[in-house]
Amino acid sequence: MTNILVTGGTGQIGTYVCSELASKGLNVVAFDFKPNPGNFPNNALKPEIVVGDVLDLEELLAVIKSKGISHIVHLAALLVLDSKEHPSRAVKVNCLGTNNVFEASRLTDVKRVVFTSSVAVYGSKVFFPEMIVDEEDFPHCPADPYSITKLTNELMCQYYRQAYGLDFLCLRLAGAWGPGRYTGYTGQFNDFIRRAGTGKSAELPQDFAYKDAKLRWFYVKEMGACIAHATLVDKNRVRRALYNAGTSKPFKSLDIIEAIKNSINDDQNIKYKETDEPTKLSSEIAGPSGLDVDCSKLYKELGFVEKMHLKEAISDMIAFERREV
């Protein structure tokens, strides 16, 4: 039996990763500092939950050994805005914590580690005149703690692959949206959809209103499926240490508005205004800035198949939010 440890396993993305893996009949252990078991919509797919801290290497080693862990998905991290507010803690959690996961995996011969980075490492579009990037482009991450720690971890991931021959795989996530997080940068996007879908006044956040934005954000269910696929894909298909991970085609603000309108058949409470330039924050993030991210290798090499596109995803989230009212 394959036993999989998911750090940050009860968070927004972790919930769907755990559920997707459990749906395949695998044993899943969610390792979380502050578990939130209520995030799991289906109790039948709820993993075993272990309270733990990635900053404690001995604790990680003990859990991996006692649970017979063969695969690890590492999601635990301090996010963008929290990292800016607490840079020192961001370095501890995002760098030391991640390296503890890598080191524990090396010491226990874990078969595969999937680490989730972010396309935020690419930085400003001014560095890329062709307005598109792929895995071969060198990152120019902005001077913020989150992006810096993610790039540091990418380099360590490659070091562990090269130095020890370990099966470590990094996914540069284009972003995730959907139920479960309603504060912070992407949270405001989710809150907009929640409000629009439940009949409340809703205004598209300016961070996502740039008319030339190229968002490849996965819906959380699709993100869960993508990460689970990378965790289990045959080793012979993995041709590189790093893959961009996002939707097969980009979308922009008007596509989002149109999908919401089609789902609710009422746009009287929706306010939106496209902008000619991205906000200062979004100008440094691939996608919202207008810088496109080529994710084709995820599909061509790893063989991931996208199932839920924007229209279906918006309808799914609105149905979820209406049930929660």
Domains of the chain listed by start with CATH number: 3-175+220-246+294-300 (3.40.50.720), 177-214+249-292+307-324 (3.90.25.10)
Residue range 149-165, pLDDT digits in tens = 999 999 999 999 999 99
Mean predicted confidence (pLDDT) in 270-294: 95
Report the largest interatomic distance among the alpha carbons of the chain, rounded to a whole angstrom: 58
Q: Which two tokens stand for residue 19?
A: 């559920």
CA distances from 20 to 4, 220, 232 (A): 12, 11, 11
Question: Which of 11, 33, 293, 280 has its CA nearest to residue 171?
Answer: 293
Sorted by sequence, the CB contacts under 8 Å of residue 280 that are 6+ apart come out as: none
Binned at pLDDT 50, 70 and 90, residue 44 comes out as low
Q: Which residue has the tokens 């629009």?
A: 196
Cβ–Cβ < 8 Å for 118, 223: no
Mean predicted confidence (pLDDT) in 72-95: 95
CA distances from 293 to 59, 128, 223, 248, 319 (A): 37, 11, 16, 10, 30
Residue 126 pLDDT > 70, yes or no?
A: yes
* Amino acid at site 209: A
3-class SS of residue 178: coil
> What are the residue ranges of helices labelled H in the chain?
12-23, 57-66, 80-85, 87-90, 97-108, 145-164, 184-197, 220-232, 253-264, 296-300, 310-324
Angle at the Cα of 8 from the Cα atoms of 304 and 91, rounded to 5 degrees: 105
Q: What is the reported pLDDT for 17?
A: 96
- How far is Cα 100 from Cα 97, in angstroms, rounded to an integer? 5
pTM of the prediction?
0.96
Compare 265 and 310 and report the one with higher pLDDT. Answer: 310
Question: Which has the minimum average pLDDT: 40-44, 150-154, 196-200, 203-207?
Answer: 40-44
Residue 42 pLDDT > 80, yes or no?
A: no
Q: What is the reported pLDDT for 268?
A: 76
Question: Which of 213, 296, 205 has its CA nearest to residue 250?
Answer: 213
Q: Which two tokens stand for residue 81?
A: 């805005």
Residue 144, number of CB atoms within 10 A of its CB = 19
Mean predicted confidence (pLDDT) in 256-278: 89
- How far is Cα 201 from Cα 198, in angstroms, rounded to an integer? 9
Write the DSSP symbol of residue 204: -
Binned at pLDDT 50, 70 and 90, residue 40 comes out as confident
Mean predicted confidence (pLDDT) in 168-187: 93
Write the DSSP symbol of residue 182: -
Catalytic site positions: 146
Question: Which DSSP helix (H) or strand (E) runs through 219?
Answer: strand 218-219
Give the pairing of strands 3-7 and 27-32: parallel
Residue 3 pLDDT > 80, yes or no?
A: yes
What's the chain's length in residues? 325
Binned at pLDDT 50, 70 and 90, residue 45 comes out as confident
Residue 1 pLDDT > 80, yes or no?
A: no
Q: What is the mean pLDDT of the chain?
A: 94
Q: Which residue has the tokens 């997707």?
A: 20
Write the DSSP symbol of residue 85: H
